[in-house]
A and B are shown apart, each in its own frame.
Chain A
Amino acid sequence: MPEQTPDEAISAAGAGAPTDLALAEGDSLEKAPGGPDGTGPDTKPQSLWSDAWRDLRRNPVFIISALIILFLVVISIWPQLIASGDPLDCDLGKAQEGSQSGHPFGYDGQGCDVYTRVVYGARNSVTVGICSTIGVALIGSVLGALAGFFGGWWDAVLSRLTDIFFGIPVVLGGLVFLSVVTSSTVWPVIGFIVLLGWPQIARIARGSVITAKHNDYVQAARALGASNGRMMLRHIAPNAVAPVIVVATIALGTYISLEATLSFLGVGLKPPAVSWGIDISAASQYIRNAPHMLLWPAGALAVTVLAFIMLGDAVRDALDPKLR
């Protein structure tokens, strides 16, 4: 027989492979997605994710929104970096006063510094946005993926359940659900958003899992003895996760504005919590006399929501090759 015996082959591969493999890996890391010059024919591995990342880095929409979001996250964690005051240190005597030295955004109706409150307000908005999205994505994608993968009665129950949740008007639901809560922390708001938000992701996840599970390679994996769990985690999930990420990123922006809406209505965050929604609500009565009280928190909210939605758009463009 001209072939190597299996033993020889094993020892040959065993001896040479580890070092060579290590080299090959280091190699591809060095050459990893080369910026604008990487347009020529290349033979290095290109996964969906590295492709998407290369796309994103060239997209100005992504760069701008990512910078804004980075800035927001930083000031959420360390608001003292750019605001020296205390958002709760108010002087009624200065109520509604306009811009002045050291207080560029002026004072609000309670005589609090608007600039400080806008800066400190970022923390709650970003927390609500990120935590709700994580909760929604986890619960929604797990439930949706199970429904899509197993089908049957579990799918039927879940699909009707999502229909029911879609029927609940968000603001009305918030008024009912949150008006019984007295806590002034962000957690009831996050809980409410997760409760109403998961069906959206569940639906997306279900759909993309159904699409992915009919792929030949899932069938092939099954023919080679893969278990349900393995097929799901290794073959279906990586091929079904892109739409979930896209929808979740865009939803993040809307969750932030939802928090502001609920706070505006008095059922979201409650004073003494600092929230753009609360400030907008308080300022809305004085819009003619002191518009600055309204414009700054509203502007901050608009920019934040816009940044997250832009990010979602850029991510979608990068992950969905059909839209290119």
Chain B
Amino acid sequence: MLLEVRDLHVEFHTRDGVVKAVNGVNYSVAEGETLAVLGESGSGKSVTAQAVMGILDMPPGKIAGGEILFKDRDLLKMKKEERRKIRGQEMAMIFQDALSSLNPVLTVGEQLGEMYVVHRGMSRKDAKAKAVELMDRVRIPAARERVGNYPHQFSGGMRQRIMIAMALALEPSLIIADEPTTALDVTVQAQVMDLLAELQRELNMGLILITHDLGVVADVADKIAVMYAGRIVETSPVHDIYKAPAHPYTKGLLASIPRLDQKGQELYAIKGLPPNLLHIPPGCAFNPRCPMAQDVCRTDVPPLYDVAEHRQSACHFWKETLDAR
């Protein structure tokens, strides 16, 4: 297994108390596999990713427990310097907003080339040639002319391609894409997603795709992990989850996708708000919003039940959920 996150706990110590952002997350990604991590804002999906990358702001963040195994080595036990060398070379991250994730005072060529200068010790000139090559690879037209341009001179889609190029520069074995298409408009989203999926196949990388867009997921992911209040509530191979969700939260998410054949009807929304992570409700964190909640949900935290092969659900009533399509 390329990456295995085991029982990860992340807390933020704030003035108001301890915010439990991640509470025992488990997931794994193999080479060439795409894992989609789904969830609302504040469900802990980005924080988990930052913990894996080792770019969590500490303090206030604190990894309170768990293991992150990357190629069978525990990242959390590594020295800082060792981890830094892994970042960029072995694992890389693509951020949501490419404009703010690129340095405004450096040309894109300098920023792309920097990867080679820092990690491979190349000369500036060679690095610039590599930058052009990378830009070609992510299909930026006229790469040779545009290598000296600044980030603000590119369109949103092109900027995201540059971000992808930067992440891929050293051909890492794991890429974490944190909502890579959220800031783009719909037509460009598809292009960027296709590009990312294609490059992933080509380089046989593991990809963790963090998103709240179920539409994006269906096309590219192999398996899905749905997060709620810092926990994984359902994991499943991608197609099964669309056919029959095994957790009421997943069901709610799927029901709230706008559909062409429901024109004129009111759009379904999960009632209520995501929980305040300072005071996560006792029992199942989803119980105040859950249409199926019973007394047991308010007292007992549901474990991850095995629903089928490679499928798990953290719901006491997963059978009922599965049956009640």
Contact = CB atoms under 8 A, between A and B. Distances in A.
B128 A17 contact: yes
A223 B54 CA distance: 8
Interface in A35-88: 43, 45-48
B72 interface: no
Interface stretch (B13-21, B28-36, B96-104, B297-305): B96-104
Interface string A216-259: 11011111111100100011001100000000000000000000
Given A3-B202, A234-B106, A239-B105, A224 B87 contact: yes
B37 interface: no
Interface stretch (A6-14, A180-188, A298-306): A6-14
B93 to A, nearest CB: 4
B162 to A, nearest CB: 11
B166 A224 contact: yes
Interface string A13-47: 11011101100110010000000000000010111
A13 B202 contact: no
B149 A45 contact: yes
Contacts of A224: 87-88, 92-93, 115, 166-167, 169
B257 interface: no
B133 A9 contact: yes
Nearest to A22: B125
Interface string A199-220: 0000000000000000111011
B119 interface: yes
A71 to B, nearest CB: 33
A10 B89 CA distance: 19
B102 A220 contact: yes
The A interface, classified by DSSP as helix, strand, loop or mixed, is helix
B101 A21 contact: no
Given A13-B130, A217-B101, A223 B53 contact: yes
B129 A221 contact: no
Given A17-B144, A25-B148, A225 B101 contact: no
A1 interface: yes
A225 B93 CA distance: 10
Nearest to B163: A220
A115 to B, nearest CB: 47
Nearest to B93: A223
Contacts of A24: 144-145, 147-148
A220 B93 contact: yes
The B interface, classified by DSSP as helix, strand, loop or mixed, is helix
B88 A17 contact: no
Contact of B101 (A10, A25, A46, A220): A220
Interface string B156-175: 00000001001101000000
B84 interface: yes
Interface in B104-159: 104-107, 114-115, 118-119, 125, 128-130, 132-133, 136-137, 144-145, 147-150, 153
A2 B71 CA distance: 31
A43 B85 CA distance: 37
Contacts of A25: 148
Contacts of A234: 103, 106, 114
Nearest to B81: A227
Contact of A230 (B118, B150, B169): B118
B89 A225 contact: yes
Contacts of B114: 226, 234
Q: Pick the most buried of A3, A21, A25, A47: most chain B CB atoms within 10 A of its CB.
A: A21
A16 B87 CA distance: 31
A92 to B, nearest CB: 60
Q: Pick the most buried of A47, A215, A221, A230: most chain B CB atoms within 10 A of its CB.
A: A221
A14 B130 CA distance: 8
Contacts of B95: 216, 219-220, 223
A20 B101 contact: no
A45 B103 contact: no
A13 B133 contact: yes
A18 B125 contact: yes
B118 A223 contact: no
A222 B144 contact: no
Contacts of A222: 55, 87
B86 interface: yes
B129 A216 contact: no
Q: Pick the most buried of A9, A224, A234: most chain B CB atoms within 10 A of its CB.
A: A224
B103 A21 contact: no
Given A43-B153, A239-B104, A225 B88 contact: yes
Given A14-B129, A220-B93, A220-B102, A225 B153 contact: no
B100 A18 contact: no
Interface in B165-215: 166-167, 169, 202
Contacts of B118: 225-227, 230
Contacts of B93: 220, 223-224
Given A13-B129, A46-B150, A220-B93, A238 B101 contact: no
10 closest A-B pairs by beta carbon, nearest first, are A225-B88, A225-B87, A17-B129, A224-B88, A223-B93, A216-B100, A13-B133, A220-B101, A216-B101, A238-B105
7 contacts: A17-B144, A21-B147, A45-B107, A47-B105, A215-B100, A217-B100, A220-B95
Given A216-B101, A223-B93, 8 more contacts: A10-B133, A13-B130, A24-B148, A47-B150, A220-B93, A220-B101, A223-B53, A225-B87
Interface of B: 53, 55, 84-89, 92-93, 95, 97, 100-107, 114-115, 118-119, 125, 128-130, 132-133, 136-137, 144-145, 147-150, 153, 163, 166-167, 169, 202
